Amino acid sequence: MLNDSRREYFAIRFVIILLSAIGPLCTAYTATLLRRVFVSTRGPSLEVIAQAAWENAHWSSLSPFQWYCVAEAAFYLFFLWYRTHLQREALHPPLRSKADRQALFAKVVSEMHDPEKFLSGWFRGAKVEDIGREDLKGFAAWAFFEGRTTEEDAEELEEITVKMEGLIGRKFKAGRGTARGLRLTVDPIEMSTRCLLWYTIIMLVDTVAHIRMLRYGMKYYSTADSTLKVFPPRPLAEITATAASPAENISYWLRPHTSKTRLPVVFLHGIGVGLHPHIEFLHELDEGLNAKSGADDKVGILTIEVLQISSRLTHSIPTREEFLEQMTQILDSTPGYERFVLCSHSYGSVFTTYLLTHDALAARVAGTLLLDPVTIMLHMPDVAYNFTVREPRHANEWELWYFASKDPGVSHTLGRHFFWSQNVLWRERIMELVGQGSRVTVSLASRDLIVDTQAVGAYLARGEVPDPVIVEGKGERQRHMELGTHEAEQKGVDGKGEVEVEGWKKKAFTGKGLEVLWWDGFDHAQVFDDRATRAKLVDVLVEYSRDR
Ligand X SMILES: *[C@@H]1O[C@H](CO)[C@@H](O)[C@H](O)[C@H]1NC(C)=O
Taking CB under 6 A as the binding criterion, the range among 12-20, 199-207, 316-324, 488-496 that sits at the site for ligand X is: 316-324
| Contact letters for ligand X, residues 436-475 (x by CB under 6 A) | -------------x--x-----------------------
Q: Strands 439-445, 365-371: parallel, antiparallel or unpaired by DSSP?
A: parallel
Q: Which of residues 25-84 bind ligand X (CB under 6 A)?
A: none
Of the residues 23, 121, 288, 415, which one makes contact with ligand X according to CB under 6 A:
121
373 binds ligand X (CB under 6 A): no
Which part of the chain contacts ligand X (CB under 6 A), choosing from 22-30, 95-103, 204-212, 382-390? 382-390
| Shortest reach from residue 450's CB to ligand X, in Å | 6
Is residue 248 a contact point for ligand X (CB under 6 A)?
yes
Name the residue among 381, 499, 371, 345 with its Cα closest to residue 445: 371
Site map 384..403 versus ligand X, x via CB under 6 A: -xx-----------------
The stretch near ligand X (CB under 6 A) out of 82-90, 183-191, 310-318, 331-339 is: 310-318
Nearer to ligand X by Cβ, of 295 and 469: the residue is: 469
168 close to 128: Cβ distance less than 8 angstroms: yes
How far apart CA 128 and CA 430 sit, in angstroms, is 33
Residue 513: burial class (beta carbons within 10 Å; 0-12, 13-18, 19+): middle
CA 453 to chain centre: 16
224 binds ligand X, rule: CB under 6 A: yes
Question: Which amino acid is it at 163?
Answer: K
When asked if residue 409 is in the footprint of ligand X (CB under 6 A), the reply is no
- Give yes or no for residue 519 binding ligand X (CB under 6 A): no
Is the separation of the CB atoms in 482 and 520 below 8 Å?
Answer: yes
500 binds ligand X (CB under 6 A): no
Among 193, 227, 249, 388, which residue sits at the site for ligand X (rule: CB under 6 A)?
Answer: 249
Q: Assess 161 for contact with ligand X (CB under 6 A).
A: no
Which of 83, 212, 315, 546 touches ligand X (CB under 6 A)?
315
Give dist(CA 344, CA 351) in Å, integer. Answer: 8
Q: How far, in Å, CA of 225 to CA of 540, rounded?
A: 34
CB of 392 to ligand X, least distance (A): 11
User: Residue ranges of the alpha helices (H) in 312-418?
Assistant: 320-333, 348-356, 359-362, 382-384, 395-399, 408-416
> Could you tell me how many residues make up the chain?
548
Is the distance from CB of 505 to CB of 229 less than 8 angstroms? no
520 lies in the site for ligand X, by CB under 6 A: no
405 sits near ligand X (criterion: CB under 6 A)? no
Q: Give dist(CA 403, CA 406) in Å, integer.
A: 6
Q: Are 422 and 372 in contact (CB under 8 A)?
A: no
H-run or E-run covering 304:
strand 301-305
If one asks whether residue 382 binds ligand X (CB under 6 A), the answer comes out as yes
Helical (H) or strand (E) element with 444:
strand 439-445
Stretch binding ligand X (CB under 6 A), from 32-40, 311-319, 493-501, 510-518 = 311-319
Question: Considering the rule CB under 6 A, would residue 114 count as an interface residue with ligand X?
Answer: no
Instruction: Please report, as ranges, the residues that interact with ligand X according to CB under 6 A.
Output: 121, 224-225, 248-249, 315-316, 318, 322, 381-382, 385-386, 449, 452
